[in-house]
Structure 1
Amino acid sequence: MKKHLLLIMLWSLATLAWAQSQTETINKTAGFKNAGGAKVLSVENIHGFVHVEAYNGNTVELVAEKEIKANNQQEVAKGMQEVQVKLIETADSIYVYLDAPFIFRKKSRGRNMNINLDDIKYKYQVDMTLRVPAKINLALSTVTEGDVTVTGVTGDLKIRNVNGPLKLTNVAGKTDASTVNGRIDIFYAGNPPADSEFKTVNGNINVHYAPNLNATVSFKSLNGQFYTDLNDVEMMPVQVIKNSEGRGSGTVYKIDKKQNYQVGKGGPALRFETLNGNIYLKKKES
């Protein structure tokens, strides 16, 4: 009984530590100054999800839900003032990112970022939901407290997470998807037209390909297996790579340990890698 009472008291103290909170809804709309050519949207979050959905429009619409928690209202107010959602427009690119005194960048924007939380006495989270044109290239990332999802985008995809999953639905572009602790789920409306990579450390990788897949597939998993429903598969010869430096008067050759498989007529390289998890490559259900 005393043990249960102690646990209840500790839980109550933990709840009281973040007894104060405040939320804010931030709406931003941006367009591309250059009407023609490729368009890029870069979103860099830290604590919170990033959800992107294509729609029949030409602008990028952002709704960000910001929440600050602290043990007193003074720290909540400080967090509300310090944590800001920034948006920058250029001719063919839009950049969305978090800005705060404890976030340090080598440039005004970009992914060279350091975070110093030593003096922060509040907890912050920003959940970002965006509507974008379908034909757009995406570079999305978050670190924790949320997933990254994309729906209906046909451009190139560079998607990053650390502690959370990735889910891409009805996409059709070159894909670079990576997380550390989380699964990857991808449903292609059109197969990737260029080399693509899918990596996680702890989690399964599930890729659902569109009909008539032509690709070169390789996979690597230390504590997992590769499963597929592909029928038209042929094992390719092991690749031997010439070392241009050489040793002494001879030439050194390196054998690539990854086994490659030709699917259909062959084509873009699809590389799958996980440490603790299985890899599934199967046809998308209609």
Structure 2
Amino acid sequence: MKKPMNLRQFVNLKGLISATLLLMFGVMPVVAQNLSDKRHFEEDIDMRIPAGEFDARTVFHLQNINGEIETVGYDGDDILITGTKRISGKARFFDKYGPEDFYMDRLSGDYSLFVFVRQPWAKVEVKGDELHYRSNRKDDWDDYHLEFEFTLKVKVPRHLMADISTINGGELKVKGMRSGIEAGNVNGNIVIEDIRGAVTAKTVNGDISVDFDKQPSENTDLHTVNGNIEVTGPKSLSALVTFKSLHGDLYTDYENISYKPNRTTKIKDGMNSFNIGTSAPIQFGEGGPEMRIRLLNGNAYIKQSKS
């Protein structure tokens, strides 16, 4: 008479059966899964815009959508753009569009040069000195299931005025420009260093940092919704600062300042603090160009350079 299986034998047999079934049938779902897996494409970017395509009056505009940008002003004549293009999406979404449909392109305006990301579902045109995006998407939402990111490094002749922006996917950095900068981000920080000329920097979700190596000679406009703003200036900084924050204060370690008596002053960590309900100015040093600082949720810091 055959002995009944004990518990250990039963467990071992159950494991053997499960393993056998996995070997027999487990491959099918894996193959099906692979069919729906994402495809990834990566390519280097190398664009050169010769000096003959612009002049000293030209405003250089670089408009990214997804991806960080690092811009450096240099003493050369051409505009040089390098970086990486990344495209990803489920395999079936590559049937209609491919990686070649996403690329860096350029158009010229009256006194502007625009470099931007060309995408298949948007029509782009220049009117005067403005770049207009217009969606030509029909009702096929699958068009938008391809994800794209352009990580860019840019060298710009430092004497040009530049307007640099991105929306998602990283930080925007600018360094060494001499004729001013406009920098825009939506979901990311803005870092500006060694800058001269007028400065405008705006983001929604991110911090803004601006480092003036010399006394600013033109106005500065800084705005974030959710984040802090930090300005570093020379020890002899002279400016007329207007500050407004719904939920935040302005802090500074400068002492040669004057302000209206209706402001509240307090001390925090050895720095003067100003809680200002209006946009009345604070004079730093002898006064000078305006520095407008606007926040919704965050603090502002104006600090002396340590160098």
TM-score (norm 2): 0.75
1:101 aligns with 2:120: yes
Q: 1-side partners of 2:78 and 2:110: how far apart?
A: 13
Out of 139, 147, 163, the position equivalent to 2:163 is: 139
- Greater helix share, 1 or 2? 2
1:169 aligns with 2:193: yes
CA contact (8 A) 2:189 2:206 kept: yes
* Corresponding residue of 2:52: 33
* Corresponding residue of 2:289: 268
Q: 1:54 to 1:107 in 2, by over 3 A?
A: closer
Question: Structure 2: which 5+ residue stretches go unaligned?
Answer: 1-31, 263-276
Could you say which structure has the larger radius of gyration?
2
Q: 2-side partners of 1:84 and 1:64: how far apart?
A: 12
Q: 2-side partners of 1:50 and 1:230: how far apart?
A: 32
2:97 is paired with a residue whose SS is helix
CA contact (8 A) 1:156 1:174 kept: yes
Out of 274, 279, 294, the position equivalent to 1:258 is: 279
1:16 deviation in Å? 8.7
CA contact (8 A) 1:139 1:159 kept: yes
Worse overlay, 175-184 or 40-49: 40-49
TM-score (norm 1): 0.80
Q: 1:121 to 1:222 in 2, by over 3 A?
A: same
* Corresponding residue of 1:126: 150
* Corresponding residue of 2:206: 182
CA contact (8 A) 2:109 2:126 kept: no
1:206 aligns with 2:226: no
1:73 deviation in Å? 7.1
Task: For 1:21, give the aligned amino acid.
Answer: H
CA contact (8 A) 1:213 1:263 kept: yes
CA contact (8 A) 1:44 1:111 kept: no
* Corresponding residue of 2:76: 57
* Corresponding residue of 2:258: 234
Q: 1:54 to 1:157 in 2, by over 3 A?
A: same
Out of 97, 103, 112, the position equivalent to 1:78 is: 97
Task: For 2:218, give the aligned amino acid.
Answer: A
* Corresponding residue of 1:20: 39
1:198 is paired with a residue whose SS is strand
1:103 deviation in Å? 2.2
Q: 1:36 to 1:128 in 2, by over 3 A?
A: closer
CA RMSD of aligned residues (A): 2.9
Equivalent residue pairs, number: 257
1:113 aligns with 2:96: no
- CA displacement, residues 63-98 of structure 1 (integer Å, 9 cap, x when unaligned): 131111011176188231211210245796432101
CA contact (8 A) 2:239 2:288 kept: yes
Task: For 2:50, give the aligned amino acid.
Answer: G
Task: For 1:265, give the aligned amino acid.
Answer: E
- CA displacement, residues 207-251 of structure 1 (integer Å, 9 cap, x when unaligned): 10123222110101111111011111111599xxxxxxxxxxxxx
1:157 deviation in Å? 0.7
* Corresponding residue of 2:305: 284
Percentage of pairs with the same residue: 26
1:196 aligns with 2:220: yes
* Corresponding residue of 2:8: none
